[in-house]
Amino acid sequence: MSDMTTGAETRIIPDRLQSRFQRALGSWEVLLIAVAVAVFTFNALASPFFLNAWNLSDATFNFTEKAMIAFAMALLIIAGEIDLSVASIIALASTAMGAAVQMGFDTPALVFIGLATGLLCGAFNGLLVTGLGLPSIVVTIGTLSLFRGIAFMVLGDEAYGGYPSSFFWFGQGYVWWVITVEMVIFAICGVAFWILLHFTGFGRAVFAIGNNPTAALFSGIRVARVKFTLFLLTGLMSGLAAVCLTSRLASTRPSIAVGWELEIVTMVVLGGVSILGGSGSIPGVALAAIIMGMVTFGLGLLNVPGIVMSIFVGLLLIAVIAIPRLITMTKAKLS
Query: Of 182 and 261, which has the nearer Cβ to another protein?
Result: 261
Q: Give the C-alpha separation, 132 to 143, whole Å.
A: 15
Interacting residues of 247 by C-beta distance below 8 A, sequence separation 6+: 163, 167, 168, 169, 170, 171, 172
Q: Give the C-alpha separation, 145 to 288, whole Å.
A: 27
Q: Which among 80, 91, 280 has a CA at the least distance from the CA of 194?
A: 280
Query: Of 95 and 247, which has the nearer Cβ to another protein?
Result: 95
Write out the binding residues for another protein, residues 42-71 only, by CB under 8 A.
Answer: none
Query: Of 138 and 332, which has the nearer Cβ to another protein?
Result: 138
Write out the binding residues for another protein, residues 112-171 only, by CB under 8 A.
Answer: 128, 130, 132-135, 137-139, 141-150, 152-153, 155-157
Give min distance, CB of 257 to another protein, in A. 13
| CB half-sphere exposure, 273, CA atoms < 13 A | 35
- Give the contact letters, 282-311, x = binds to another protein (CB under 8 A), - = no: -----------------------x-xxxxx
Query: Of 190 and 277, which has the nearer Cβ to another protein?
Result: 277
Q: Which of 224, 249, 250, 301 binds another protein (CB under 8 A)?
A: 224
The answer to whether 80 contacts another protein (rule: CB under 8 A) is: yes
Query: How many Cβ atoms from other residues are within 10 Å of residue 78's Cβ?
Result: 27
The answer to whether 99 contacts another protein (rule: CB under 8 A) is: no
Q: With CB under 8 A as the contact rule, which of the stretches 41-49, 68-76, 235-243, 273-281 interacts with another protein?
A: 273-281
Query: Of 92 and 245, which has the nearer Cβ to another protein?
Result: 92
Q: Give the C-alpha separation, 279 to 74, whole Å.
A: 10
Q: Which of 25, 45, 188, 315 binds another protein (CB under 8 A)?
A: 315
Q: Give the C-alpha separation, 127 to 269, whole Å.
A: 25
For the chain, give percent helix, strand, coil, nearest 5: 75, 0, 25
Q: Which among 85, 101, 92 has a CA at the least distance from the CA of 140?
A: 85
Q: Give the C-alpha separation, 72 to 126, whole Å.
A: 14
Give min distance, CB of 122 to another protein, in A. 15
Please answer whether residues 79 and 135 qualify as being in contact, where contact means their C-beta atoms are separated by less than 8 angstroms.
no
Q: Which of 44, 276, 302, 327 binds another protein (CB under 8 A)?
A: 276
Residues binding another protein: number (CB under 8 A) = 59
Give min distance, CB of 255 to another protein, in A. 11
Query: How many Cβ atoms from other residues are within 10 Å of residue 191's Cβ?
Result: 13
> Would you tell me which residues interact with another protein (CB under 8 A)?
7-8, 80, 82, 128, 130, 132-135, 137-139, 141-150, 152-153, 155-157, 213-214, 216-217, 223-224, 254, 258, 262, 265-266, 269, 275-277, 305, 307-311, 313-315, 317-318, 321-322, 325-326, 329
